[in-house]
Every structure is written in C-alpha cells, then in structure tokens.
Chains A and B, each alone.
Chain A
Amino acid sequence: DGGITQSPKYLFRKEGQNVTLSCEQNLNHDAMYWYRQDPGQGLRLIYYSQIVNDFQKGDIAEGYSVSREKKESFPLTVTSAQKNPTAFYLCASSIRQNQPQHFGDGTRLSIL
C-alpha cells in the first residue's frame, strides 16, 4: 500500500542523547515535512524539503537536523541541544509544495 511510514511509534531519549526519527514514503512525492505538535497547540513546522539534497528551516528548527539523500526518506534528528523535545512528531509529504499534505502516523518522543 502507498503511504508514509514513521518509526518508531514511541521513543525515549536520555539526557545528552541524540535520537533519529525515521520517515519513509512510497507515494513518489517530491516534498516532505516535519512538524511538532504539543498538547493544545497547532502544528509547528521544523524543516521541509522540496527536492532531494535540499532542505529548509521551518519556524522551530533549533535543536533539530535533517537530511534528504533519497526521495523516499527524510529522517529527523533531535539533538541534545533541543531542551524540550517531548512532543508528538509528524512527518508529511505532498506531490509538490503547493499541493495538500498527507501525514504519517507520528512518533511520540519522551524524556527518560
């Protein structure tokens, strides 16, 4: 089935640790995005990528990093510099950047 796969579903981070969230899509979409959702808050854009080997910072990029080496994959690393990483992380993709976005099932990150 075509779709967006995020893994793991739940992730726990220790102090000073970097963790990487996986996002893979088989929809042949050019654009991919990472959002963060906190309780009672709207989605906030972390990073986005319009094409392979190119990505741009969103509104809250500090403490995060991404790569886009393949069209299908857009992993997000939450670094130790992100002091408040506990949130629901959502990956999305769209055919092109001006088209509707579709979301994966999300990853919940918590601090140990």
Chain B
Amino acid sequence: QKEVEQNSGPLSVPEGAIASLNCTYSDRVSQSFFWYRQYSGKSPELIMSIYSNGDKEDGRFTAQLNKASQYVSLLIRDSQPSDSATYLCAVMRSGAGSYQLTFGKGTKLSVIP
C-alpha cells in the first residue's frame, strides 16, 4: 500500500508567523507532488505543484521537495486567518500505463489573530 503521511494537527500559528506543513511518502518512484487547500465544508483547491528537488515559491507559499528523504513540505509566510483550512498533500506515481494520485489525510491549520 503506497502511503502519504501528514500530521493531522491541528497546527496553530499566530497571525504573521510562518506555518510549516509536512508530508512524507512511501513510494520512491513518485514523480509529482501537490498541495491542496480545503476549507471546512468545501472542495479541495490546488495551490502548489512541485516536480523536482528544491524549492518552488508562489507568493506567500513555498513548496519544498526532497526526493532522497521522501519528504515534501509547504511553508506559508505571513500567515493570515484566511489561511485557516485543512491542507492536503497528494503524491502521483505512474505504473502499468496509468497514473495514480494518493492523498494524505490532511493537516488542519489554525491561524490565530
């Protein structure tokens, strides 16, 4: 069973701080990595994609990938109360002519004003 593990939280950070969300995955041949944000009662929204080792920045969000350690993280700088949501890590691998996306259970983030 290919697994994606996230700390369920809740992770509480004060407004303006950096929130750090972590994800580990078990399948070494995983190729693509995604972070989704899901507000309570809503559907997931794609916020970051990362495909190669290193950092990828988009506004206040930075995704970090380390394939050797099988670890992907999401940093949110200058956290705002509107960032309070559950963040889902998703990992894609290929096999047998198809691609499979596996989701973690999510980390709930609470930004305290």
A interface residues with partner B (beta carbon < 8 Å) = 40-43, 45, 50, 56, 90, 97-98, 100-106
Contacts and interface: CB of A to CB of B under 8 A. Distances in A.
Nearest to B101: A101
B105 interface: yes
A97 B94 CA distance: 10
> Per DSSP, are chain B's interface residues mostly helix, strand or loop, or mixed?
strand
B32 interface: yes
Interface of B: 4, 8, 31-32, 34, 42-46, 49, 88, 92, 94, 98-106
A45 B98 CA distance: 14
Given A42-B105, A103-B43, A97 B98 contact: yes
A98 B42 contact: no
> Per DSSP, are chain A's interface residues mostly helix, strand or loop, or mixed?
loop
Among B8, B94, B105, which residue has the most Cβ atoms of chain A within 10 A?
B105
A41 B86 CA distance: 11
A106 B43 contact: yes
B81 to A, nearest CB: 23
A100 B34 contact: yes
